[in-house]
Amino acid sequence: MSISTNDLKNGMALNLPEGLMTVVEFQHVKPGKGGAFVRTKLKNFRTGAVIDRTYRADEKVPLAMIDKREMQYLYREGPALVFMDNETYDQLHIEGDQLGSAVGFLKEGDTAILPMYNGEVVGVELPASVELAIAETEPGVQGDRVSGARKPATLETGLTIQVPLFVEPGDSVKVDTRTGEYIARV
């Protein structure tokens, strides 16, 4: 199925030779001389890489139908993560490397949106921030009051982040899923 570049919208998925892409932004340009064209910024679904592409106006590009499913993360089975579809209750085994860095933000029972294309999971959409417990970190040194000082802490998911000195094991912290940075103690 193809779509005209004149009908592009932000968030649309395209199946291009470079891979499965989503439209981040687009701009119709009508120069004084020559034909109109469409300047686009496209993001690769799998790698997250952003590329710029320019198309002639009304050029046909292949549209990809992405099925976004809300799924609950149940448990880990070896290198795979087991998810359950919230509508059909089907269980789905997904290799951890298919989900990239998102694995470090998922704990059992969490819900995530899994975009699927031709029955294959092509990424994961997480909330902007998640709350996770600190599994282990060094105790803060008494009297160490350096402003903004940080120490490494391992979260319950195995991800290691930098946290302020006052955070202790067992504390829950809010973490930004886009940058992997500490936001606040909960």
Asked whether the whole model's pTM tops 0.85, one would answer: no
If you classify domain 129-185 with CATH, what class do you get? mainly beta
Amino acid at 118: N
What are the distances in angstroms from CA 97 to CA 17, 32, 36? 22, 48, 41
The yes-or-no answer to whether 2-62 and 129-185 have a common fold is: no
Nearest to 105 by CA among 83, 85, 125: 125
Q: Tell the burial category of 27 from Cβ atoms under 10 Å away from its Cβ (0-12, 13-18, 19+).
A: exposed
Calpha distance 53→37 (Å, rounded): 11
**Residue 53: helix, strand or coil by DSSP?**
strand
What would the CATH number be for the domain defined by 67-121? Answer: 2.40.50.140
Domain range list for the chain: 2-62, 67-121, 129-185
Q: Tell the burial category of 53 from Cβ atoms under 10 Å away from its Cβ (0-12, 13-18, 19+).
A: middle
What are the tens digits of pLDDT across the range 13-70?
Answer: 999 998 899 999 999 999 988 889 999 999 988 777 899 999 999 899 999 998 889 9
Pick the CATH number of 2-62 from 3.40.50.720, 3.10.110.10, 2.30.30.30, 1.10.10.60: 2.30.30.30
Handedness of CA 18, 24, 30, 31 (dihedral sign): negative
State residue 144's pLDDT score: 60
